[in-house]
Amino acid sequence: MPRLVMKFGGTSVANIERIRNVARHVERERAAGADIAVVVSAMAGKTNELVGWCDEAAKNCDRREYDAVISSGEQVTAGLLAIVLQGMGIPARSWQGWQIPILTSNAHGTARIEHVADAAILEGFSKRGEVAVIAGFQGLCKETGRIATLGRGGSDTSAVAVAAAVGADRCDIYTDVDGVYTTDPRIVPKARRLDRVAFEEMLEMASLGAKVLHVRSVEFAMIHKVKTFVRSSFDDPANPRQGTLICDEEDIVESQIVTGIAFSRDEAQITLRQVADHPGVAAAIFMPLAEAGVNVDMIIQVASEDSGTTDMTFTVSAADFDRTRAILEKVKSQIGFESLHGATDVVKISAIGVGMRSHPGVAARAFKALAEKGINIRAITTSEIKFSVLIEAAYTELAVRTLHSLYGLDKA
């Protein structure tokens, strides 16, 4: 009997009527003969409300208690969906992460899944024909014996991990869009839904600003070879569209040079002027940031042969901007820089595609096209299947549209 994991996000379960709609999607797949596990998020807005309550109760509260509170939203949704399914005559049972159990690391609030036990779910399939309705975003920390949450978007990761554990034929991620697009349709109306995207491409797109899938869920799917569909929960349950398949590169018959254009507004630029140019200076800058959990992205170093100094520019998330400046000012004497400059009015634009591996000059064409539009590039990073540029935020839409057209993504 085929096995299927279906995941539904917050907007898909925002109220009882939408939960009934979710149940009809489950009913369709069950009628087709599949054993089904459903992973659900909290109702739209509920997690934000719970986080707000924690902040109101105490700033910098115990992360274990924080997880106990914010994981409750998924528990409510799982129970409600099980009730609705039972009312439709479909055997169903809700599960919390610790009951399965889904075992996680000790990083409360940002835990990583380490193991998913499959026995309880498979027993429900074989003995009772039962739909397993699982609270996403959470698991059981092995060290503390407490509920641990996986970070925002963690229900996607829960779903893919469950799919890998039970040997599911596929994992369907239902959201409020009908698939993965070449870029944000709100910026480029001609953006197209992609039929298939390689795991590597989706991983880059997710990490570079595309909000369709959680980064760790794509990592999990790629490692465990879980075929994953992105689909819309708002399609007619009786006749839904297929969505976009995330799969191995070899499963894509013909790939474009560039698959999509992603952008991230959550960027801040830091420049250290006249840094002493000697061995160990980069470590002196970036080790304190790493120890504070600040993720550094683009790095540019410009050395001066005459003065023995260098300018160092790099980017961090906008949320880490003030903290990064404070950390660097604290260790200024060890680093030996003259001044620190920062900017938050920047955006990172990225082009992604496995076809870049075999086509030289892809990035050069973009640099020329942006220059012709009067867009100045502040920083550049490249990898085998993507390149990113940092530009002024005011040029975001123009840059995205320019690159989308440049690589023929407007064309059907």
Instruction: Report whether the peptide linkage leading into residue 101 is cis, meaning its omega lies within 30 degrees of zero.
Output: yes
Q: Does the annotation flag 9 for ligand binding? A: yes
Q: Does the annotation flag 372 for ligand binding? A: no
Closest CA to 350 of 223, 203, 163: 203
Q: Does the annotation flag 47 for ligand binding? A: yes
Q: Residues with Cβ < 8 Å from 5, sequence gap 6 or more? A: 36, 37, 38, 39, 159, 160, 162, 163, 166, 168, 170, 171, 172
Q: Does the annotation flag 361 for ligand binding? A: no
Q: Does the annotation flag 74 for ligand binding? A: yes
Q: Does the annotation flag 181 for ligand binding? A: yes
As a whole number of angstroms, the distance between CA 308 and CA 277 comes to: 6
As a whole number of angstroms, the distance between CA 368 and CA 376 comes to: 11
Other CB atoms closer than 10 Å to residue 265's CB: what's the count? 13
Residue 331, both tokens: 């260790």
Closest CA to 79 of 29, 129, 40: 40
Q: Does the annotation flag 10 for ligand binding? A: yes
Which SS3 state, helix, strand or coil, does residue 93 take? strand
Q: Does the annotation flag 212 for ligand binding? A: yes
Query: How buried is 273 (Cβ within 10 angstroms: 0-12 exposed, 13-18 middle, 19+ buried)?
Result: middle
As a whole number of angstroms, the distance between CA 284 and CA 151 comes to: 30
Closest CA to 351 of 389, 395, 322, 325: 389
Binding residues, by number, are 7-10, 47, 74, 175-176, 181, 186, 211-212
Binding-site residue set for ATP: 7-10, 175-176, 181, 186, 211-212
- Enumerate the known binding-site residues for substrate: 47, 74
